[in-house]
Amino acid sequence: MPRVFGLLLLSCVLPGHCLAGELRGKVLYAGAAPARQTVPVTIDQYLCGNEKLADDLQVSVNREIRNAVVWLENPPPGAAAPARNEKVELDQKGCSFVPRVVIVPAGGTVDFLNSDRLLHNIHATPKLNVSFSRTQPMGRTIPVTFAKPEIVRIECDLHSWMTAWVVVAAHPFYAVTGADGGFAFDNLPPGQYKLQIWHERLGTVPASVTVGEQQPAQLTVEMKAR
């Protein structure tokens, strides 16, 4: 795993005039934004094309990292458990998994879809959850329930470039960064919080932040692989 370094920045403007119980953050790439790579398409080129943009590291011109997962290691005491009947959709569209990363609560279900006019396969070998390998024609929905918290890699055995991630959450305070690298947590009681920031290419960075009674915290994390 690449070595990763984190840089934290906490700030609040006009103390005493900020809203309480909020955390706003960004995940940035340290250094110049890397050029996005391409991956060769080795099968079903009539639909998938000859190559595709790699989705494993997406960084904007402003160095904002997409698809980083952020969670609290010490969620607020008494935080509500996630609903076990919550469902999340993960589609196979354009010979890619869409979205690349999804979050589902422990005990929740992911509905795997196939919007492509060809056969796909969903395959995972998690450590804590049940392994599965299912072929999936167009239009068929395959529900999979994930019982225990962990990060699960999903692959398509028929199309080697296709990868997705299911993050099985232990509590509600998990987030995936968008194209702007941003994430947010609301309704946080004042206190000291420890966070983990994970990215499939850049590893994991720990962070900490203090949420005050009246001041929202701003957190910036920089990730760099060596």
Q: What ranges do the domains of the chain cover?
A: 1-79+178-226, 82-170
Range 116-130 average pLDDT: 98
Q: Are 7 and 201 in contact (CB under 8 A)?
A: no
pLDDT value of residue 187: 86
Output 82 or 155, whichever has higher pLDDT.
155
Q: Are 157 and 123 in contact (CB under 8 A)?
A: yes
pLDDT value of residue 84: 55
Q: Is the pLDDT of residue 79 over 70?
A: no
Q: Is the fold of 1-79+178-226 the same as that of 82-170?
A: yes
DSSP percent split of the chain into helix, strand, coil, nearest 5: 0, 45, 55
* C-beta atoms surrounding 183 within 10 Å: 23
Q: Are 169 and 71 in contact (CB under 8 A)?
A: yes
| The dihedral sign for the CA sequence 77, 82, 88, 90 | positive
Pick from 20-24, 63-67, 97-101: least confident: 20-24
CATH homologous superfamily for the domain 82-170 = Cupredoxins -  blue copper proteins (2.60.40.420)
CATH 3.40.50.300: does it fit domain 1-79+178-226? no
Is the pTM here over 0.85, yes or no?
yes
